[in-house]
Amino acid sequence: MRHPQCFPASYPVAVRLATPYIGVMAQNRFSTGQGPSQRQLRVGELIRRTLSDVLLRGDVHDPELNRHSITVGEVRASPDLKVATAYVLPLGGHDAEEALQALRRNAAELRHLVAKGLTLKYAPQLRFQLDETFDRLDDTRRMFAEERVRRDIENPDDDDRDDA
C-alpha cells in the first residue's frame, strides 16, 4: 500500500484517505519493544558458555584474573550482536570490584579467546557488569521472612470475600 499522498490525484479521495500507511523505512528494526530476539538469546548463551570455559581454564595471561573464580550468570547481546554485556560475580562475592577491573583490563584478550569458539561474522565487544541477581534474591527471601508478610500470605485478604 502506498501513502495517501503518494496516490495520483486521479484516485478518489475516499480511496486515498482510507488506505493505511505502512512505511517500511520508517520502522525501527532495532526496537520492537518485545524484548530480545531468539538469535540474541542464543548468541548470549553461547558467549556465556564459552566465556565461562575460558575463565575456568585460565587461558588469560593475567595472574590477577586467574586467581579469581568468576561466575558468568548471564550475557545479553545487543540487537546487532556487536556488543555483549556479561554479568559476572566472583565466587562468594569477595573482591568483586577487583575482579571486575581485571576483566575489563583483559577484555580484548577475552574477546579474542571467546571469538575462537564462536561462528559469528563479528566477534562482539565484551562489556562486564556485576551480577546483582543474587543480592535481589537475598532481599526477596528477607522480605518473605518478615512477620507481616508471612501473615498476609498465610491469611487470605478479607476484602476479597466481601466483594463476592
Could you tell me if residue 3 is inside a domain?
yes
CA distances to 53, 140, 147 from 101, rounded to whole Å, are 19, 29, 40
CATH of the domain at 93: 3.30.300.20
Q: Where does the pLDDT of residue 158 fall: very low under 50, low under 70, confident under 90, or very high at 90 and above?
A: low
Whether residues 75 and 3 share a domain: the answer is no
Whether residues 10 and 82 share a domain: the answer is no
Whether residues 114 and 144 share a domain: the answer is yes
Are 124 and 83 within 8 A, CB to CB?
yes
pTM of the model: 0.65
**Residue 32 CA neighbour count, 13 Å, CB half:** 7
pLDDT tens figures, 52-96? 999 999 889 888 888 889 999 999 999 999 999 999 998 877 888
Domain of 12 in residue numbering reads as 1-30
Whether residues 14 and 67 share a domain: the answer is no
pLDDT tens figures, 94-129? 888 999 999 999 999 999 999 998 888 888 999 999
Whether residues 146 and 71 share a domain: the answer is yes
